[in-house]
Structures are given as C-alpha cells and as structure tokens.
Amino acid sequence: MPRGVIHFGKTMPDPKAKVQHSLHATLSNQQHNSWVDLIRANFEQTMAKMTKNDPAVRGALPINLFSESGKSKEKLSAMIDRVADSMKENEQMQQAIWKWQSRFLFRR
C-alpha cells in the first residue's frame, strides 16, 4: 500500500461474543521507496565523491559569511549549483540508483 493512502480495517461482528475484538495488519512495500530516498542516496554519493575530489567543498566557510549583505546567499547558491550539477551527471545518478537498490533490497 503506498504511503499516505487512507485505509481502515473492518471486521464482521460476532453476535455471540460479549466483547468484540479486531486485528488489523497493514502491509506496505513502499517504505524507503520514494523520490526522497533516491535523491538522498544520490546526494550522499555525490558529497562523498566531491569531498574526495573537490577541495572547494572541504574549504572552510568564510568568517564573514553571515555578515555580508547578499554575498553569503550568492556563495551558498553557487555551491548548491555545483553539488546539483554533480548530482545530475549520468555516472553519479547510476551509482546512486545502485546504492539505493541495494539499500532497498537489504531492508526487506
């Protein structure tokens, strides 16, 4: 059952029973099977690769990052663009898919 689907269990009442009991079990094959899971896997792969190969990602934040007017947003935006561009690389996406698939299968 996909995440977010409204559902309820209903049992037939037993007219002979003084107390009615109900057992409801819901099974889902959609746990850890969403866009956010795949994008998170891609992001983790990308950051691991960039941390190893891109010195700018390992660099310290500027001391005056939060006091500069607008420059901090520009610097942050530029870094996010670099990460996003790296995440879009075909090889990077394929590695993320493989990593996500293995996580998905091992969690079953």
Check residue 14 and give its pLDDT.
76
> Is the residue at 29 inside a domain?
no
> Is the residue at 8 inside a domain?
no
pTM (two decimals): 0.60
Check residue 28 and give its pLDDT.
64
Query: In terms of residue numbers, what domain contains 86?
Result: 35-106
> Is the residue at 71 inside a domain?
yes
Check residue 68 and give its pLDDT.
66
> Which ranges of the chain have pLDDT less than 70?
1-4, 7-9, 11, 24, 26-32, 68-69, 104, 107-108
Distances from the Cα of 17 to the Cα of 11, 21, 59, angstroms: 13, 9, 70
> Is the residue at 75 inside a domain?
yes
User: Which residue in this structure is represented by tokens 């049992």?
Assistant: 11
Q: How many domains does the chain have?
A: 1
Cα distance between residue 8 and residue 45, in whole Å? 39
